[in-house]
Amino acid sequence: MTDTNHYGTGESMSQQIGQQLVGTPQWHVTAYLASCDRNGDPALLESMRELRARILFDHGRRPAFARTDGTHLDDQNLDFGAWHFIARREPDGPPLGYIRLSTPATGDLFQSRAYLGASRYEELLRSEGVAVGDAFEHSRLVVEHRARKLGLGLYLNGLAIAAAHHLGAKAMIGTSGTRDGQDRFHERFGFRSMPGTRAYVEQYTEDVVVMFHRVADGAGQYAELVDQLREEFPAIAAAGHARLVSDLSSGRPAPVGLANADCADRGVWQPVLFEPRRTSDVDALTALLASGDVREVHDTIDEQLTELVRSREPACTDPIEIQRKKNDQLAGLDAWEYGTWAWYPWSQRLVHVLPREEFRLVRTDRNRGKIERPEQRRLLGNTIGIIGLSVGNSAAVTFALEGIGGAYKLADFDEFSLSNLNRLRAGVHHLGVNKAVISARQMFEIDPYLDIEIYRDGLTEHNIADFFTGGNGPIDLLVEECDTPWVKIAAREHARELGIPVVMDCNDRGMLDIERFDHEPDRPLLHGLLGDVKSVDMLELSREDRVNLILAMVDADRISPELAASFGQIGRTLSSWPQLASGVALGGALTGEAARRILLGLPCGSGRFYTDLELQLRPERNTAAGSAR
């Protein structure tokens, strides 16, 4: 087979759209019409069927597509007489994506006909004004996991629809799964779900619905792509092969500076503070500015001084009086000499801020009315330990913002990864950076005067005692948000022995767990849900034991249906249990409220408390119901 085109400056609209969808990889798409008499290329047919069955099997999600010998099977007779479109990265490489288009010649075998039954299928077409001989069916759109999210599925779907349009279809029909939004995907191409056709299908382990597409109505969001591919289909069919090429994948060397690039500052997390009233700090600051390392100097000290005056005397509004008080505050110093210059090496910013006490007075001024200044000082005098800086990051940042604690110990062994970006407040430039490092940076950017220690190995049997009592002193409260069973139990054993309260957000149904070991030294760990458990019992657990343990910890009878359903899919269709940014943010708020109450001696007892947003947002809780609109 030869390539029909090498797309370059004269590339068509479909190639442009395809490149925008697919990005830099090259996709070689084979168009193959299997004869009804079963002659042809048996090896090609077998590779198509193996690809389909393996992807549909999906690591055990659909057992019907596996043979007893561990291979995969999807040998439908519908393959004969159908068009098959197969995508590869290289012309002779393994198939990465596939879709089938069946013509009216094999209409008696259509999946949608078998699903509905012959009479109901024909009645549906009649109700839409379409003859049985004018309906085509597309099915079995599959894409390898490693090739997903690159637009390949969009292109293949568009090509199958375009082929049907060219071949004279008046309508297209097909069955679609619903669990992963496949039906919504087809709707973007102008398909619509047919009422009354949704039902659970054991073979696919999900609800299936019949989708219908009228050619005259166009291809929805991707009409332009489908129209262009319709024009190109004859050439693709004749050559048997189409090629999408992006010039960016030409094998050229990376520009200087990109090759061997790395995150040189991954381990940097502490700011450097310069106080200009010290001669040595002025010398160091001068050297820093001369080094060329400073990307940005940020100086708003005059505005900060105005806020300082207004925070102390809210009734003072006269500009002349405010300026006089600012001059008094400077006490003869030039503005650059006053306060502190904070150097953040990870962002190369040099920032001028008020002195420590004045900075904190202004920064927490809007807390007053809810947290008065004596209470603010009490909170700042505490040391907070936080284990697990994924969900725990929300707590750490919330505590720093609210002024709950002036010193922190942060422990996490894990590095920030792309999948963490759905819930952890960080950026793509943090990928590969330890989560405790990220949290410390974020907290120091809120308050450069904080005292923070980090444990980049997480908590281990070698450092757990130091975390609780060593370093800059003992912690006063523990926020525990890790996933490791041994750490969860060992941390509570130490907390109970030392009389340290523990707070935990479970990121499901707004569940907040509080254990007041400071008031109840004999309280059973995790409210006794695990019995008389010991951390030593957690050292060697199977995956099944870990799942059962976690279910017991969170009280399986009270978790959300979504979380309950996810446990059986972890390691099969889910990489881990689901978590959302909204739930993590709520957890920061809940742990912050509990910590503030505990540290200020306000009522806050041991127990489990739910702030289930699904329940809170139900119509019966609407306090404005019936009000004028």
Contact of 391 with 413, CB cutoff 8 Å: no
- pLDDT score for 245: 36
Contact of 144 with 96, CB cutoff 8 Å: yes
Q: What is the 3-state secondary structure (H, E, C) of 284-350?
A: HHHHHHHHCCCCEEEECHHHHHHHHHHHHCCCCCCHHHHHHHHHHHHCCCCHHHCCEEEEECCCCEE
Domain 13-249 CATH assignment equals 3.40.630.30: yes
CA-to-CA distance for 433 and 427, rounded, in angstroms?
Answer: 11
CA 422 to chain CA centroid, Å, is 2
CA-to-CA distance for 151 and 160, rounded, in angstroms?
Answer: 15
Question: Mean of the pLDDT values across residues 124-138?
Answer: 94
- pLDDT score for 3: 30
The DSSP symbol for 434 reads B
Provide the 10 A C-beta neighbour count for residue 314: 10
Parts of the chain belonging to CATH 3.40.630.30: 13-249
Q: What is the pTM of this model?
A: 0.68
How confident is residue 94, by pLDDT bands cut at 50, 70 and 90? confident
Contact of 523 with 496, CB cutoff 8 Å: yes
- Token pair, residue 360, equals 């904190």
Q: What is the H or E stretch that residue 96 is in? A: strand 95-102
CA 90 to chain CA centroid, Å, is 31
**Percent of the chain residues past pLDDT 90, beyond the cut:** 64
Beta-ladder partners of 201:
206
In 3D, which of 527, 487, 480 has the Cα closest to residue 507? 480
> What digits encode the pLDDT tens for the residues 170-223?
999 999 999 888 899 999 999 999 999 999 998 888 899 999 999 999 999 889
CA-to-CA distance for 244 and 214, rounded, in angstroms?
Answer: 28
Q: Is 428 helix (H, G, I), strand (E, B) or coil?
A: helix
The architecture in CATH of the region 371-614 reads: 3-Layer(aba) Sandwich (3.40)
- pLDDT score for 8: 31
> What digits encode the pLDDT tens for the residues 4-14?
232 233 344 44
CA-to-CA distance for 447 and 440, rounded, in angstroms?
Answer: 10
The DSSP symbol for 262 reads -
Between the alpha carbon of residue 403 and those of residues 371, 514, 591, the distances in Å are 10, 20, 13
Question: Mean of the pLDDT values across residues 533-547?
Answer: 85
Residue 35 has pLDDT above 90, yes or no: no
Residue 324 has pLDDT above 70, yes or no: yes
Contact of 201 with 173, CB cutoff 8 Å: no
Phi-psi region of 58 (alpha: psi -120 to 50; beta: other; left: phi over 0): left
Alpha helices in 504-625 (DSSP H): 543-554, 561-567, 581-600, 613-616
Residue 21 has pLDDT above 70, yes or no: no
Beta-ladder partners of 211:
174, 193
CA-to-CA distance for 70 and 147, rounded, in angstroms?
Answer: 23
- pLDDT score for 336: 95
Between the alpha carbon of residue 522 and those of residues 21, 68, 201, 216, 525, the distances in Å are 60, 54, 53, 74, 9
Parts of the chain belonging to CATH 3.40.50.720: 371-614
CA 147 to chain CA centroid, Å, is 19
Q: Is 628 helix (H, G, I), strand (E, B) or coil?
A: coil
